[in-house]
Amino acid sequence: MVDLFRRKLLKTGAAATAIAAARNAFTQQPAQGAAGSFFEKGPVRIHYQEAGRGFPLLIIPGGGLNSALTGLKNPFDTFGEFQGEYRCVAADLRNANNGQSSGPVEADRSWDSHADDQLALMDHLRIDKFAVMGFCIGGPFIWNLLKRAPNRVVAAVLAQPVGFR
């Protein structure tokens, strides 16, 4: 079952990446007023959205973007595309443009602070194993998730990732 899931997600991710490469730019609507929920851990408050049912798919927006992935017109509407088969989950990055999440980003562990948020969100939602798809800066965030929680991430799609040290 997981192998079939991985093949299908990778195939879909490859197609999505090809589509994304052909587009000029990302556009996004502000998240204010967008349906969603919040969870808090210490000084961090994270806004997230969910849609669909099925195997959990964590979707990480590109740099500076927020969880209103339904507002994305390019490369494609991720929630619209995947919510029929997956439980889609997306969260604002801390202090994202037009987002509703807030909290300090620790200068000495900025990559880990985002992984902390993503893993804490999945814990909050009682999700143990999940697939993940990330755009742009989401690619390096995924590499960090794979390093930090390799037993939880069953498949990963990096769409137009930027570099990572």
pLDDT for res 159: 83
- Which pTM was predicted? 0.72
CA distance 165 to 29: 31
Quick one: what percent of the chain has pLDDT higher than 90? 27
Domain extents in the chain: 2-18+36-159
User: Which long-range contacts (C-beta less than 8 Å, at least 24 apart) are formed by 149-155?
Assistant: 149/115, 149/119, 152/119, 152/122, 152/128, 153/129, 154/2, 154/5, 154/6, 154/129, 154/130, 155/5, 155/6, 155/9, 155/10, 155/131
Of the candidates 48, 62, 149, which has an alpha carbon nearest to the alpha carbon of residue 100? 48
pLDDT beyond 70 at 94: yes
Q: Which residue has the higher pLDDT, 124 or 34?
A: 124
Class of domain 2-18+36-159: alpha beta
> pLDDT band at residue 165, thresholds of 50, 70 and 90?
low
Read off the pLDDT of each residue in 148-157 and give the average, rounded to a whole number: 94
